[in-house]
Chain A
C-alpha cells in the first residue's frame, strides 16, 4: 500500500538545529566535575596525582562503573534497580561455589544467571505492575537471604585464581584490565543503543511510558531487557570483586548500592527517566570513587570526610544535570 501523495504549499525553510555551545558544555559537565575534583585532591595532597595512584583509582572503580552502567538502563526507562548490590553479593557466592565444577565457564555462567534473575524481576515488574522500587527492594532482601543460606553465612574462598586472573592484568602496563572491561562494556552497550532503535524506545519509555506504549514501542520488553542487562552487569561486577578479593561473600557488595545510584545521578542522568547515558554514569562512578578513596587518603578526617562527601555529591549534580531536559526537579 503506498502512502498518499499530498500537494501542499512548501514549508518554511528548515534550518539545521545544531547544539549550542551551552548544550555541548552541559554534556561535558560530568567530565569537568571529574577533573575539578581531581585537581582539588591534588591541591590537598600533591602526592595524590601519580600514575600509580590514578591506576589504582580506575582499577578500584571498575565494579562500580559496571554496576552503575547496568542500572543506568533501568533508570533511563524510568525505574530503579535497588537489587544490584545484593545480587552482586549473591553472584560472588555463586562464583566461589561454582568455580570448582565449572572452571573457566563460571564467569559466563554467573553473568547468564544474574541476567536471568534480573529478567525475572523485570517480568515481575511489568507483569504485575509492581513499582520497580518495590520489586527490587524485595529482590534485594531475597537475594541477601539466599546468599546467606547458601554460603552458610560466611565467605567462600576462591583457591583457583586462574579463572579471574585475567582481570587483574594491566593493558600496556598501566591500564587495569578490569577497567578496560568496564570501558568496553559501556562502549558496547552505548553503541548498541545508538545504532538500533533501542535508544529511542528506552528514552520514550522513560519520558512517557504511555505515549511509548501507544506508539507501539515494545515497552514491556524494553524494560525487561533493561533489568536483564542490569542483572548481568551485577554478575560481571561480582566477577571483578572476586578477582580482587579471592573469595565470595554474602554481603561483599551490599554497600555499593548507594554509591552506584549516586554515580548515576552525579553523572547527570535524570532519576525520573529518559535523559542520560552510560557514559555519564562512567564519569559519575569515577567521581564517586575518587570521593570514597581520595578524601581519606589525602588526609581528611573521618567526620569531615562525610560532610565533604555530602556537599560534593550535591555540588556535582548541580553541575552535571542538564535542566533543559528535566523540567521539573523532584
Chain B
C-alpha cells in the first residue's frame, strides 16, 4: 500500500488513497502515440472532468482503465494498490465501469438483459434465466435514474435517448458488485442527449458523487465545468494540467487543450453577405410527406443555413433523408434550382448536387476498414478520376490537401478511417462532399456530434464559408444553441410537421426558450 501524498490537495487532512491513479501511461498505435505518459488522479467522491481535443487520447486512456486497452507502459493504481486490468470483468471487480462513447448495447436483447449483461447475478441460476428476477434487477437500476422504460422492451425499439439511459443504468450495476466506492467513467455521454435528458443525467452524476467517483468526458466545456469538481486536460497523449472547475471558464480549458487561445464562437450568422430573400430559393419543398412526416414545406436559399429543430421523433431526420433519396416519400414535390429533384435514390441526389452527412457516423457515415483517402473520395469520383480511371496521384494530392485544410489528424491518407478519433472521422466524412466543389445543397445531421471545441469551430467556419460560396445548408444541430447560432432561419418540427418558422438573422437571434415553446 502506498499513499501518494504529493497529489493530495490539502496536506492537513490525512488523505485517503485516491480512488484511481494513473502514472506515466503509454500506448502506441502504428504511427500514433495515443498515450504518451499520462498521469491522472481520480479522488474519492469527486467528479473529474477530462477534456482534450479529438484524438488527444481520452478514450484510449479510459479504455485502459477498464481493461480494454493493454498499455505499453506505465502503472494503474486503484485505491492505493497497483493493478493490472486485463478485461472489463477485471476492471469491474476493481469497481471500475464505463459508458462507452459509441453506444454499446445488444440491440436484439431486452433492456433488462442489457442492464445485467455479464453480471446477471441471481438473474441466472445454473445457466437458466429467471426472467422475473432479471426484470426486478433491471428495474432497480432504471429506478435509480428515474427512467420509465419497460425493462422487457427490445432495446432496438427504444429511442436513442432511452438507450443511453439503459447504458447508464447498466454501468450503475457496478455498485452492486463491489463493496468499495466504484469509479464510473462516462465517455461523452451527453453528445446524443436532449437538454432535458442531460439534466437527468447530471442529477445522477451528482448523486453518484455521494458514493462513487466519476470520470466525465464531454466536448461541451460549459457542461464539463458545470458538473465536474475538477477538470484534467490531455493534449497529444500527455496530461497538460488540471483546474478546479469552480474557478475556470471554458476559454481557460480551451487554451489548455490546444495550447493557445481559440475562439468558441458559434455566432457567425451575418459574417457573410445575406442571401437575397426575394430571389428564388435554391431548394423548394412543398407538401413533402413520408412515413414519419407530413406536408412539410421548406425553402432554402443559396447561401442560407436553415436549422430544423424538434424533439426526438419530430421527424426532422427523416425529412433530411428523404431529401437525399434515402427514405421514401408518399407525396410532395422538391425543386432544386428550378429543376425537380429526383428523390428515387441517393445516387440521383448526389448527381443533383445534394450532400448528406448522417448522424450515425460509425454505421452510416464511414466505411471503417477503408482508408481515409477512399472514404473521402467515395462519392465524388470525378475528383480522383480522369474519365473512368482512378488517378492515384490526383487522389493523393487532393486528399492530402483536404487533410491539411481540415487539420485531420491521421498518420497517413492510407490509414483506415476506423483508427482515427471520432472527430477526425467526422471531418473526413464532411470532406467527402467538399472534394469536388459541386455541392449545392448540404444536409447536415448533427455534423458536430462528438467534435472537440476546436474541430467544432472549424466545422462551423467551414459551414459558413460554404454558405458564403453559395451552398444551401439544412442543419439538424446538436443543441438548440448551435442551431440558433449557425442558422439564418429555423424551422420547428413536431410530430412530423413543420409547425413554425423563426427568423434568426445575425443580431436578431431568438433565445432557446422561444424555440422550446414552439417545440412541445
A interface residue numbers (CB < 8 A to B): 1-6, 8-12, 14-17, 20, 194-197, 200-201, 203-204, 207-208, 210-218, 220, 274-275, 325
Contact = CB atoms under 8 A, between A and B. Distances in A.
B67 interface: no
A214 B412 contact: no
Main SS at interface, chain A: loop
B437 A218 contact: no
A222 to B, nearest CB: 11
B408 A11 contact: yes
Contact of A11 (B349, B367, B403): B403
A204 B378 contact: yes
A1 B438 contact: yes
Nearest to B361: A211
A11 B30 contact: no
B394 to A, nearest CB: 12
B400 A207 contact: no
Given A4-B462, A11-B407, A211 B349 contact: no
Interface string B313-352: 0000000000010100000000000000000011101100
Given A204-B370, A211-B365, A6 B465 contact: yes
Given A1-B438, A9-B407, A11-B408, A208 B368 contact: yes
Given A11-B409, A214-B365, A203 B403 contact: no
Interface in B350-393: 350, 356, 358, 363-370, 374-375, 377-379, 381, 384-385, 388-390
Interface core residue of B400, B403, B405, B458 (most chain A CB under 10 Å) = B405
Contacts of B471: 1
B400 A14 contact: yes
Contacts of B346: 213-216
A305 to B, nearest CB: 38
Interface of B: 30-31, 324, 326, 345-347, 349-350, 356, 358, 363-370, 374-375, 377-379, 381, 384-385, 388-390, 400, 403-415, 432, 434-435, 437-440, 458, 461-462, 465-466, 468-471
Contacts, number: 129
Contact of B363 (A16, A200, A211): A211
Contacts of B440: 1
A216 B350 contact: yes
A303 B385 CA distance: 55
Contact of A10 (B366, B404, B411, B439): B404
Contacts of A214: 324, 326, 346, 356, 358, 364-365
A207 B367 contact: yes
A156 to B, nearest CB: 40
Contact of A208 (B367, B400, B468): B367
Contacts of A15: 31, 411-412
Contacts of B326: 213-214
B407 A208 contact: no
23 contacts: A1-B437, A1-B471, A6-B465, A8-B407, A11-B409, A14-B400, A14-B404, A14-B413, A16-B412, A17-B30, A196-B389, A197-B384, A197-B385, A204-B367, A208-B366, A210-B363, A213-B346, A214-B365, A215-B379, A216-B346, A216-B350, A275-B369, A325-B369
